[in-house]
Amino acid sequence: MIVDDAVTLPGLDEILDRVRVVAIPLHTRFRGQTVREIAVFEGPEGWTEFSPFPEYEDAEAAAWLRGAIDFGWAPSAPSPAGRTEIMVNATLPAVPADEVERVLAHYDGCRTVKVKVAERGQTLDDDVARVRAARAVLGAEGRIRIDANAAWNVDEAEHAIHRLCEFDLEYVEQPCASIEELAEIRSRVAYMGIPIAADESVRKASDPLAVARAGAADILIVKAQPLGGVSRALAIVREAGLPAVVSSALESSVGIAMGAQLAAALPSLDYDCGLATVDLFEGDVVAPAQSLVPRGGRIPVRRPEVDSDLLARYQASAERTDWWRARLARCHALLAAAAASDLVDPEPTSLL
Ligand SMILES: O=C(O)CCC(=O)C1=CC=C[C@@H](O)[C@@H]1C(=O)O
Ligand SMILES: [Mg+2]
């Protein structure tokens, strides 16, 4: 059963025998979460991570498992540009303005900040105050991008971009939900020279290329695990023909290493990548010397080993571990079924 050109789907037992589930506290709430649950397991190529958010349905989570297996079982993608380090951005959750300095102090040397905006229960004034505070911390030279996670309609997005443009925005990530809305807001703000980036329209779409084909975005955000692995994400970027920004899916250093490998393998990399998110965690599954937290605004391209003391320290409860093992079994069954239908169907079944 083929997961990728180079990988045969490993047996479920092979994964369940090795999997460890951890629950790592976040020091700042992100996506409404204060604890990140993560499953890690070891393949022939090294440690890999399976960490779809708990609310995701199995069909979506199965693409993350495909990505995890690809990273653990497929040989590393080469870096045509010879990159050994990736420049990364600080990620600023939707915190009150007076907390911005404290949160950004966790990121060492990042010249770019991605500011979360349009959080449910907050106002545009809250966003303006947060972006203003980020600009004050960064100085005039720093780069600021914002991410609305599809929360605005087109008029709200236009109004918000008008208010926030005084802070010199590098780009606006997923201001609206649909491809039609993205195309509309993109043309409305084109005169301001602010690019539109697509995230959810790539990683949660049945066709990750539709947004590029529609000319609805200037930049693609690509996340290795949700897109089914490094080689699938590379193929999407190649087909789309747009500049790409590699971003994390809020992973431990093990999953971030998958993102770093994708960033290293891209033919060109014009923007800092959203791979600094281990800095939002209180802990990690790898020892500090091997961790992929940024130093001097960069992370190394390397595969870390997990640390057994840290796996024990952050070990999830028996109940949550059982839940993840059952989820792994269901997602594995979906991948096996898709692979079996590939054998009769010459067109590969897409789980993206
Ligand atoms: O891109 C970054 O700076 C960090 C990653 C990040 O913002 C995200 C990670 C995981 C889930 C998403 O809600 C979120 C995003 O929307 O990009
Ligand atoms: Mg995003």
Residue 5 confidence (pLDDT): 60
pLDDT given for residue 341 in this prediction: 84
Spatial distance between the Cα atoms of 295 and 292, rounded to a whole number of angstroms: 9
Q: Do 39 and 134 have their domain in common?
A: no
Cα of 200 to ligand 2 centre, how many Å? Answer: 7
Residue 77's pLDDT is 84
Specify the DSSP class assigned to residue 307.
Answer: -
Q: What is the CATH number of the domain that holds 264?
A: 3.20.20.120
> Which pLDDT does position 340 carry in this prediction?
87
In this structure, is residue 350 part of a structural domain? no
Report strand pairing: 90-92 vs 85-87: unpaired
> What is the value of ipTM here, to two decimals?
0.98
pLDDT for res 80? 87
Q: Identify whether 35 is part of a domain.
A: yes
Same domain, 115 and 95: yes
Nearest residue to 313 (alpha-carbon basis) of 33, 20, 26, 49: 20
- Domain span at residue 37? 2-75+314-344
Of 210, 163, 197, 206, the residue nearest 59 (C-alpha): 206
Based on the domain organization, do 34 and 181 belong to the same domain? no
Tally of domains within the chain: 2
Q: Is 147 annotated as a binding residue?
A: yes
One of 114, 223, 327, 332 is an active-site residue; which one?
A: 223
Tokens encoding 328? 């792994």
| Active-site hit among 20, 36, 116, 303 | 116
- Identify whether residues 24 and 168 lie together within a single domain: no
Give me the average pLDDT of each 10-residue run along the chain (352 residues): 69 98 96 95 98 97 98 91 95 98 96 98 98 97 98 98 98 98 98 98 95 98 98 97 98 98 97 97 97 98 97 98 98 95 55 38
> Which residue out of 36, 38, 147 has the highest number of ligand 1 atoms within 8 Å of its CB and is therefore the one to mutate?
147
